[in-house]
Amino acid sequence: MRAGDLISDEIPTLEGSDSGLFAMQLLDEYKMTHLPVVEKNRLLGLISDTAVYEIDDHEKPLSEMREHLQQIFVVQDRHVYDLVKTAADFHLSAVPIVDMNGSYVGVVSIYCLVRELSKISAVNDPGAIVVLEVPEKDYSLSEIAQIVESDDARIISANVTSTPDSTKMDVTLKINRDNVDGILRSFQRYDYVVSASYRREGYGSDLRDRYDELMRYLNT
């Protein structure tokens, strides 16, 4: 999935000729903290709600306030994970997308991004979640997959989380069935530390409810 594939017309784009006052109104109307500013198909930058309030003359066009614009964007051919990193690093509600020549092609909202991540993480698919604590030096996804597949199951999603200043990582697996008791015993036989496991009946509706709640919050 490329960054450009998530572009949506749900989020407006400001023009360089728009005033700071108009930007403030649009940010409030769409409940956004950031909006892209474009002039002649070129991205001038991102304007934030905080920056708008710092502007002395709200009647001036945004093109004359470049010191208040953040130069942040993602090239359309980059992977969706680059969008995630950029949005997280700069606490963005929207990420501008440009082509290889630097021309503005659209914007991705955090709402669309979270929606796509839910698909990548197989949130809606049935099955159980298993979290392993694995030393970095011993991590082998192929071995983990072999253990799961030996019990006639398969991994439909896998995520690795590293903690700074730690030699261990959390490996979160989404497995395509609810009963994973045999798989858990197999992991223990291979000296894996199972730090958590969640069956669908224990987490499914709650996880979906939390996801829906997050979507409603981001879309308000």
Q: DSSP letters along 47-84, please? A: EEHHHHHH-S-TTSBGGG-GGG-B---EETTSBHHHHH
Considering the domain architecture, whether residues 194 and 160 belong to the same structural domain is answered as yes
Task: Select from 117, 134, 152 the last residue of a domain.
Answer: 117
Domain boundary, last residue among 81, 99, 117: 117
8 lies in which domain range?
A: 3-117
Residue 19 DSSP label: B
Q: How large is the average pLDDT for residues 107-122? A: 77
Q: What is the pLDDT of residues 128-180, one digit of tens each?
A: 899 999 999 999 999 999 999 999 999 988 888 887 778 899 999 999 998 99
Q: What is the mean pLDDT of residues 185-203?
A: 83
Non-local CB neighbours of 73 within 8 Å, separated by 6+ positions: 43, 95, 96, 97, 98
pLDDT at 202: 47
Question: What pLDDT is recorded for position 54?
Answer: 86
CATH number at residue 204: 3.30.70.260
What is the dihedral angle through the alpha carbons of 80, 84, 85, 87, rounded to the nearest 10 degrees? 130
What does the block give as tokens for 132? 């392993």
Q: Which residue has the higher pLDDT, 78 or 116?
A: 78
* 85 Rama class: left (phi>0) / alpha (psi -120 to 50) / beta: alpha
| Domain final position from 82, 117, 152 | 117
